[in-house]
């Protein structure tokens, strides 16, 4: 059971998290432009900011960031906080189920919305701005709900996310979404430390970005490719590999696991190969560099995108 805010405070500040007052209140776009400026996660500011919003709709993926944001928003606002999970072919079934389990466990106001990014040619084309169109579709789905509730849309972006190619942040900011964790100076380490102190079981959950992120830029996003990736990763998790990516290269699967687990994959190669074939791949390869989150971004050959100009359709 989560400890609650008072219980977490009683534990003292013994991690990476700070309790400094103040912070940046310039809004989502301002936070994206301004970066972290050396701040550390300030839970008091996060709670204060959420309280001042009055009503929020939190985009809830079940990951560590959005889980902390959804839990704190619920703790501060009660029924005035709604957690919303965007459902599409790029969301792994296990992640969708986990969102429902967490919502029930924590008593969140929770609902699912269907997003239609697969209907956007710009998303399916899978160029460097794919994430822009994904978040654009998310905002299409949640904005009417937020409007009906007179609520602000909040996303679980942390300060570390500002240093990678994340055009989706720009799309959300342009549509009026806010980034409370960024405003309160939360890094990924702060998110995990505060989640641990609050007793949230998501504190050490491995990152699980959408399945489309496994498809190299320039390769179209298809339902078949997403299904193959999802099936392959689910099979490997059943074999005991909790942290992994299966990168999709047509009939070839490139498996990434932490360096410490490389030998384990080789030791179970027959099972791994069978799992990949069951998922639709002819070839199974192991990346000897190990797991690198977001490593396909290195192929873009472009500067990190945290600007505010929309890509061309």
Q: What is the CATH number of domain 27-204?
A: 3.40.50.620
pLDDT at 296: 67
Per-position b or e across 264-280, b if 16+ CB within 10 A of its CB: ebeebeeebeebbeebb
Place of tokens 């005991």: 240
Could you read off the pLDDT of 40-65 as tens digits, one per residue?
679 999 999 999 999 999 999 999 99
Identify which has the larger pLDDT, 281 or 306: 281
List CB contacts of 161: < 8 A, sequence separation 6 or more.
169, 182
CA distance 138 to 307: 19
Could you read off the pLDDT of 200-224 as tens digits, one per residue?
999 999 988 999 999 999 999 999 9
Residues 11-18 have a mean pLDDT of 43
Phi/psi-derived region of residue 74, left when phi > 0, alpha when psi is between -120 and 50, beta in every other case? alpha
List CB contacts of 84: < 8 A, sequence separation 6 or more.
57, 58, 59, 60, 110, 111, 112, 113, 142, 145
pLDDT at 2: 72
pLDDT at 3: 62
Pairing of strands 245-249, 252-256: antiparallel
Radius of gyration, alpha carbons of the chain: 19
Asked whether 290 and 257 are in contact (CB, 8 A), the reply is yes
Please give the share of the chain, as a percent, with pLDDT higher than 70. 81
Residues 219-232 have a mean pLDDT of 98
Place of tokens 């009026």: 176
List CB contacts of 45: < 8 A, sequence separation 6 or more.
21, 22, 23, 183, 184, 185
pLDDT at 261 over 70: yes
pLDDT at 18: 38
pTM of the model: 0.82
Residues 128-151 have a mean pLDDT of 96
Please give the share of the chain, as a percent, with pLDDT higher than 90. 76
Task: Give CB contacts under 8 A, 24+ apart, made by 299-307.
Answer: 299/216, 299/217, 300/128, 300/165, 300/217, 302/128, 302/165, 304/163, 304/164, 304/165, 304/166, 305/128, 305/129, 305/165, 305/166, 305/167, 305/170, 306/32, 306/33, 306/162, 306/166, 306/169, 306/170, 307/170
List CB contacts of 297: < 8 A, sequence separation 6 or more.
164, 165
Domain 222-291 falls in which CATH fold?
GMP Synthetase; Chain A, domain 3 (3.30.300)
pLDDT at 93: 94
Kindly list the distances between the CA atom of residue 80 and the CA atoms of 99, 144, 150, in Å, as whole numbers in the listed order: 19, 16, 10
> How many Cα atoms are found within 13 Å in the side-chain-facing hemisphere of 225?
20
In the predicted model, what is the mean pLDDT of the chain? 86
CA distance 279 to 252: 11
Q: Give me the residues paired with residue 59 across strands.
A: 84
Q: How confident is the model at residue 25 (pLDDT cuts 50, 70, 90)?
A: very low
Could you read off the pLDDT of 72-105 as tens digits, one per residue?
999 999 999 999 999 999 999 999 999 999 999 9
pLDDT at 133: 95
Residues 3-25 have a mean pLDDT of 45
**Domain-wise residue ranges, the chain:** 27-204, 222-291
């Amino acid at each position: 059971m989560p400890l609650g805010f008072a219980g977490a405070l009683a534990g003292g500040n013994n991690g990476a998290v700070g309790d400094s007052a103040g912070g940046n209140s310039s809004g989502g776009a301002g936070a994206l432009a301004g970066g972290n400026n050396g701040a550390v996660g300030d839970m008091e500011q996060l709670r204060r900011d959420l309280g001042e919003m009055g009503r929020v709709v939190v985009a809830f993926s079940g990951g560590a960031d959005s889980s902390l944001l959804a839990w704190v928003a619920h703790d501060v606002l009660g029924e005035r906080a709604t957690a919303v999970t965007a459902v599409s072919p790029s969301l792994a079934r296990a992640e969708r189920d986990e969102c429902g389990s967490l919502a029930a466990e924590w008593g969140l106001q929770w609902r699912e919305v269907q997003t239609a990014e697969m209907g956007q040619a710009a998303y399916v084309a899978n160029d460097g701005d794919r994430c822009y169109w994904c978040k654009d579709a998310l905002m299409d789905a949640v904005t009417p709900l937020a409007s009906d509730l007179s609520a602000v849309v909040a996303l679980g972006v942390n300060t570390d996310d500002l240093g990678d190619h994340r055009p989706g942040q720009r799309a959300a900011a342009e549509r009026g979404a806010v980034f409370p964790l960024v405003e309160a100076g939360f890094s990924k380490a702060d998110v995990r430390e505060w989640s641990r102190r609050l007793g949230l079981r998501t504190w050490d959950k491995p990152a699980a970005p959408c399945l489309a992120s496994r498809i190299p830029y320039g390769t179209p996003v298809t339902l078949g490719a997403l299904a193959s990736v999802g099936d392959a990763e689910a099979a490997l998790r059943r074999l005991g590999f909790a942290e992994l990516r299966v990168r999709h290269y047509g009939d070839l699967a490139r498996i990434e696991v932490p360096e410490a687990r490389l030998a384990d994959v080789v030791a179970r190669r027959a099972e791994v190969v069978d799992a990949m074939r069951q998922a639709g791949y002819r070839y199974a390869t192991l990346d000897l560099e190990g797991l690198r989150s977001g490593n396909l971004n290195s192929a873009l050959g472009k500067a990190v995108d945290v600007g505010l100009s929309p890509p061309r359709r």
